[in-house]
Amino acid sequence: MNRIYKVAILFSSFVMCLFLVTPSQALVLDFEGLGDHDQILDFYNGGTSSMGNSGTDYGVSFSDNALSIIDSDAGGTGNFGNEPSPDTILFFLNGDAAIMSLAAGFDTGFSFFYSAINNPGSVNVWSGLDGTGDLLATLNLDVTPSDGGDPTGDFSPFVATGVAFEGIAYSVSFGGVINQIGFDDITFGSVTPGDPGAPVPEPGSFLLMGLGMLGFLAYARRRRNS
């Protein structure tokens, strides 16, 4: 086989592999579809929330105190604004933290948006389910500004942050003072929270890549034949 073809095939395989291992599946929990003061529970785990809502089964479950809340501008009771994915966010009304568990585990890092205008919060990443095992990482969450909402809501804007860690995590605790911190768009596999669907390599990317490779092969053929 002509050497340049071999190089082209190796190169394309390499690029395809890069795309396949990209933390891609841009798994984003946006909490849309949940109710106002709805216990999230197994909404993202093939089951339902306390109000009987169900979302995509990502194998992600939440502790009993993890609630969703809808913006008052959208008919709910939430005092927030400019949430990254309107109109629903995660918060909690008892305990120190809302805990998210992933039975399959995850690595690398994750990211999210939060608003906490009066009290700081913190996020802990754990090697066991339900906030158990070793602490893999801690992220302190500073108090955020308040800009007046969309059009109303004191908890606004939502600030993007993320955390990287070593090892395999099985749970994350989203902590702070009850009713004083809200979270949205929890994004796995990236330390930069994406808009839902934003950082995903889409079929279009593969198409463009394929066209690029065709062009490269045609160029290589021309060179060989010239």
Binding site for Ca ion (CB under 5 A): 30-31, 71, 73, 81, 85-88, 149-150, 153, 184
Shortest Cβ distance from residue 203 to Ca ion (Å)? 25
Q: Which is nearer to Ca ion, 85 or 118 (CB)?
A: 85
Angle formed at CA 199 by CA 194 and CA 201, multiple of 5 degrees = 160
CA distances from 154 to 81, 94, 113 (A): 7, 21, 15
Q: Which is nearer to Ca ion, 149 or 193 (CB)?
A: 149
Shortest Cβ distance from residue 148 to Ca ion (Å)? 9
Shortest Cβ distance from residue 165 to Ca ion (Å)? 24
Closest C-alpha to 63, from 85, 90, 83, 87: 90
Shortest Cβ distance from residue 48 to Ca ion (Å)? 18
**Which residues pair with residue 60 across a beta bridge?**
102
Q: Which is nearer to Ca ion, 125 or 186 (CB)?
A: 186
In the complex, residue closest to Ca ion by CB = 153
Residues in the chain: 226
Residue 145 has a CB neighbour count (10 Å cut-off) of 9
**Helix, strand, or coil (residue 130):** helix
Q: Which is nearer to Ca ion, 53 or 85 (CB)?
A: 85
Cite the beta strand spans of the chain per DSSP E: 28-29, 38-39, 60-62, 66-70, 88-92, 97-106, 109-115, 121-126, 135-141, 159-164, 169-175, 182-188
Interacting residues of 117 by C-beta distance below 8 A, sequence separation 6+: 143, 144, 145, 146, 154, 155, 180
Q: Which is nearer to Ca ion, 115 or 126 (CB)?
A: 115
Shortest Cβ distance from residue 41 to Ca ion (Å)? 17
Shortest Cβ distance from residue 26 to Ca ion (Å)? 15
Closest C-alpha to 170, from 138, 137, 123, 132: 132
Q: Which is nearer to Ca ion, 55 or 149 (CB)?
A: 149
